[in-house]
């Protein structure tokens, strides 16, 4: 960068500071509509909206602006179009209620649409009756904080996603609540982003959905009663920490699906009452450490081509089936977990059971091979064969053993 | 028939074993609900107990009572009473007294823990109904066995074997055939196979009403679609009824021809 351009930049910055103004928008003010206010404001200005209902079908924001709504400020899309289209860097939208975006099967109408914009921030908004909630494309370094997106979808084709990011980098998504949409939060080609403390519940498909996204982290989120909790697919280096997966219950449901995941971390999560807590398909080098699996149908279901995964210091409590496995053990390791139905003993009192524990029950092995056999669940016969298999294992995979089961839960 | 039913019923109601049976269910119900206040969990546990236990108690009680009251039966046969009346009366006496123990023994604790305030009442009723059906079915079967075998030891052995067959062996055969024929579509086979055994039928009926039905996956969905409808429910209850009637008819026919 040469001197001239630096001076120019400084000048631009000063002028920016000098002329940044704040305008009020209300029904009886000079600026009474969203469109007029946005057209009137100069780059860097702030628009403060007084409470009221403002029609805003397809308002385009093409310069850096800050829009702040006082409590009770409603932007109505009138079911026609996007409500706000953000096409510039440095835009802040805060405190609005956004209603009624258009609905379409050919265009992705959203309440807030962000395209090729850097450093956006979407804060404290509430979105209802919209097709997509917040749709972000090719935009980086933004933050989406403390928003609520509520839909009423009952079928997958009725709704878009609550928060949808496509081809973005370094976006911070925190403290949002999404319910009743297709996917709560959907990330596709999104790198280096964090999701913190979001609550995604009662969505038709997934609470959170990753596709082709790398180096992301989600932490302390809660996923409850979604079609399926979280699906992480075709992604690398994803960290999943301290999340709660509750009640993702249904015949094709699960808490966490890992499909083609490499080098991930699943730490300190809690899986409570999911049909399948973790469904692992073709994933390698993933560490599962210190998670709690309680009262799930299956705690872990592993299918096909998984290598070098390690499960340790997890608590398995009262799951109908501990682990279901339909391929070779490969070099996956189960070691030092706590199993509530472990019936071994600990003579030297070092907290580690002296008898290895076999997490795959015979019936779970059979049900995996012939799914129809599951109708015999909870019959006396099944209890008998499970017991006899436990006493002397013949059918269940030989190597799938926890050699040092813990006597006490870790958490 | 009513008179004979009354005799058998009051005889059984005064017997120690009825009270022990009643007390067992009372204790079971109270302990379950005391340990776990969740009615729906208690219903699941009870299902396991009822599906295994009521057929067994029905079988053993039925055959024991029948052999023990043989002299009384012979005395009755000498009277101008129809044979079918005698045996049906005794049959109803045993089954109804056992069912009463079941209903009272489980009903009282569940009522005490607020059954009517919970949404579990339909499931609980279904559980009791299938328990009652199982009692009727297995008492009828065991009386048939007793009629065919005048030798007590043999009859007892057959009765236990019959219970073992329905409770355990049948499921084993199903599982085995499923594993052998796993390359074929088995959904309908599973559906029909579970229909033919009253114990399996009542287990699946209760299982599908409960939360864990989601675990049954695709097969479960097929079952749900069938049993979940009122048609499925009435068909399965009708089948249970058929299971009561068939041994009942056999019992009446055999008793009218039997030499005593």
Domain boundaries, chain A: 63-391
CB pair distance less than 8 Å for B218 and A377: no
Residues 6+ apart with CB under 8 A from B240: B130, B133, B137, B198, B201, B202
> Is the pLDDT score of B67 beyond 80?
yes
User: Residue B212 — very low, low, confident or very high, per pLDDT cuts 50/70/90?
Assistant: low
Enter the ipTM.
Answer: 0.83
pLDDT of B229 reads: 76
Task: Quote the CA–CA distance of B215 and A298 in Å, as a whole number.
Answer: 8
- What is the mean pLDDT of the segment spanning A128-151? 95
Percent of chain A scoring above 90 in pLDDT: 64
Under 8 Å between Cβ of A38 and A47:
yes
Least confident of A2-16, A29-43, A207-221, B78-92: A2-16
Interface test with B, best of A375, A376, A377, A388 (most B CBs within 10 A): A375
Where along chain B do its domains lie? 2-257
User: Among A363, A353, A405, A368, which Cα is nearest to A387's?
Assistant: A363
Instruction: Check residue B218 and give its pLDDT.
Output: 66
Q: What angle do CA A406, A220, A259 make, to 5 degrees?
A: 75
Q: What is the DSSP letter of A51?
A: S
Q: Averaged over A213-240, what is the pLDDT?
A: 94
**Is the model more confident about A137 or about B8?**
A137
Q: Do A370 and B218 touch (CB under 8 A)?
A: no
Residue numbers of B between 216 and 255 with CB closer than 8 Å to A: 216-221, 223
Q: Is the pLDDT of residue A395 over 50?
A: yes
**Residue pLDDT, tens place only, A3-22:** 655 554 555 444 445 468 89
> Given an 8 Å threshold on Cβ–Cβ distance, is A370 in contact with B207?
no
Give dist(CA A303, CA A326) in Å, integer.
5
- What is the pLDDT of chain B when averaged over all its residues? 86
**Residue pLDDT, tens place only, B213-254:** 667 666 667 777 777 778 878 888 899 999 999 999 999 898
Average pLDDT of the segment spanning B2-20: 81
Once rounded to an integer, what is the mean pLDDT over residues B75-81? 86
* Chain B neighbors of A299, CB-CB under 8 A: none
Nearest-10 crossing angle of helices B83-112, B16-35: 30
pLDDT for residue B38: 73
CA–CA separation, B108 and A47 (whole Å): 68
Cβ within 8 Å of residue B166, ≥6 positions away? B55, B197, B198, B199
pLDDT in tens, B110-138: 888 877 777 778 888 888 999 999 999 99
Name, of B86-95, B135-144, B195-204, the range with top average pLDDT: B135-144
Question: Given B168, B194, B216, which is nearest A380 (Cβ)?
Answer: B168
Which residues in chain A are closer than 8 Å to B48, comparing Cβ atoms?
378
Provide the pLDDT confidence category of residue A216 given band limits of 50, 70 and 90: very high
pLDDT grade, residue A140 (50/70/90)? very high
User: Could you report how far apart the first and last alpha carbons of chain A are, in Å?
Assistant: 56
What is the dotted CATH code of the domain comprising A63-391?
A: 2.160.20
Bridge partners (DSSP) listed for residue A321: A298
Arithmetic mean of pLDDT, B172-179:
91
B142 Cβ neighbours under 8 A, 6+ residues apart: B58, B59, B60, B61, B62, B63, B66, B159, B162
Whole-angstrom Cα distance, residue A111 to residue A57? 10
CB A166 within 8 A of CB A136: yes
Contact B179 A373 (CB under 8 A): yes
Mean pLDDT for the stretch of residues A237-258: 90
Residues of A in contact with B169 (CB under 8 A): 381
**Tell me, what's the pLDDT at A1?**
46
Residue A388 has pLDDT above 60, yes or no: yes
pLDDT given at position A280: 93
Note the pLDDT of residue A109.
92
Interface test with A, best of B216, B218, B222, B226 (most A CBs within 10 A): B216
Which of A52-61, B172-181, B208-217, B225-234 shows the lowest per-residue confidence on average (mean pLDDT)?
B208-217
Report pLDDT digits (tens) over B144-157.
Answer: 999 999 899 999 99
Q: Calculate mean pLDDT across residues A391-404.
A: 81
Work out the average pLDDT over A248-274. Answer: 91
Predicted local distance difference test score (pLDDT) of residue A19: 65
Mean pLDDT of chain A: 89
Q: Average of pLDDT values for A206-233?
A: 94
């Amino acid at each position: 960068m040469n001197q001239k351009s630096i001076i120019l930049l400084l000048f631009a910055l000063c002028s920016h500071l000098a002329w940044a103004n704040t305008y009020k928008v209300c029904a009886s003010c000079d600026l009474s509509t969203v469109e007029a206010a946005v057209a009137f404001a100069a780059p860097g200005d702030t628009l403060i909206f007084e409470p009221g209902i403002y029609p805003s079908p397809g308002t385009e924001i093409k310069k850096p602006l800050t829009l702040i709504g006082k409590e009770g400020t409603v932007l109505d899309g009138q079911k026609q179009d996007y409500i706000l289209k953000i096409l510039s860097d440095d835009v802040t939208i805060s405190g609005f209620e956004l209603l009624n975006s258009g609905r379409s099967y050919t265009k992705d109408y959203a309440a807030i649409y962000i395209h090729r914009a850097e450093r956006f921030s979407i804060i404290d908004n509430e979105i209802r009756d919209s097709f997509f909630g917040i749709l972000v494309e090719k935009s980086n370094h933004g933050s989406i904080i403390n928003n609520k997106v509520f839909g009423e979808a009952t079928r997958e084709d009725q709704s878009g996603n609550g928060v949808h990011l496509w081809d973005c980098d370094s976006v911070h998504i925190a403290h949002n609540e999404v319910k009743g949409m297709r996917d709560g939060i959907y990330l596709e080609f999104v790198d280096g982003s964090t999701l913190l403390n979001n609550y995604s519940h009662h969505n038709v498909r997934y609470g959170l959905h990753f596709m082709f996204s790398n180096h992301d982290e989600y932490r302390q989120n809660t996923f409850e009663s979604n079609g399926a909790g979280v699906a992480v697919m075709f992604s690398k280096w994803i960290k999943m920490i301290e999340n709660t997966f509750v009640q993702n219950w249904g015949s094709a449901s699960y808490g966490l699906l890992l499909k083609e995941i490499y080098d991930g971390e699943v730490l300190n999560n809690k899986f409570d009452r999911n049909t399948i807590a973790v469904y692992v398909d073709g994933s390698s080098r993933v560490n599962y450490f210190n998670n709690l699996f309680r009262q799930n149908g299956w705690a872990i279901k592993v299918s096909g081509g998984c290598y070098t995964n390690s499960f340790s210091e997890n608590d398995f409590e009262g799951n109908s089936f501990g682990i279901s496995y339909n391929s070779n053990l490969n070099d996956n390791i189960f070691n030092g977990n706590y199993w509530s139905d472990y019936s071994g003993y600990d003579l030297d009192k070092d907290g580690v059971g002296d008898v290895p524990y076999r997490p795959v029950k015979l019936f779970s092995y059979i049900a995996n091979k012939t799914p129809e056999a599951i109708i015999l669940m909870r019959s006396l016969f099944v209890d008998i064969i499970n017991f006899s298999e436990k006493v002397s294992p013949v059918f269940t995979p030989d190597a799938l053993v926890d050699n040092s089961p813990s006597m006490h839960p870790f958490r | 028939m009513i008179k004979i039913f009354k005799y058998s019923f009051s005889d059984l109601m005064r017997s120690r074993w009825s009270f022990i049976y009643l007390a067992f269910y009372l204790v079971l119900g109270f302990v379950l609900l005391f340990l776990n206040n969740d009615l729906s969990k208690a219903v699941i546990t009870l299902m396991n107990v009822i599906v295994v236990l009521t057929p067994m108690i029905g079988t053993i009680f039925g055959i024991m009572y029948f052999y023990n009251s043989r002299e009384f039966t012979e005395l009755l046969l000498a009277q101008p009473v129809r044979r079918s009346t005698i045996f049906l009366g005794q049959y109803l006496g045993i089954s109804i007294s056992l069912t009463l123990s079941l209903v009272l023994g489980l009903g009282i604790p569940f009522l005490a823990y607020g059954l009517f305030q919970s949404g579990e009442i339909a499931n609980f009723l279904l559980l009791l109904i299938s328990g009652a059906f199982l009692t009727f079915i297995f008492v009828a079967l065991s009386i048939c066995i007793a009629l065919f075998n005048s030798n007590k030891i043999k009859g007892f052995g057959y009765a236990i074997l019959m219970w073992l067959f329905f409770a355990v062996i049948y499921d084993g055969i199903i599982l085995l055939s499923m594993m052998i024929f796993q390359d074929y579509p088995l959904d309908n086979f599973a559906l029909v196979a579970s229909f033919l055994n009253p114990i399996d039928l009542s287990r699946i009926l209760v299982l599908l009403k409960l939360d864990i039905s989601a675990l049954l996956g695709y097969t479960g969905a097929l079952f749900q679609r069938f049993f979940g409808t009122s048609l499925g429910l009435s068909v399965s209850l009708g089948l249970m009824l058929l299971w009561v009637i068939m041994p009942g008819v056999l019992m009446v026919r055999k008793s009218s021809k039997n030499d005593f």
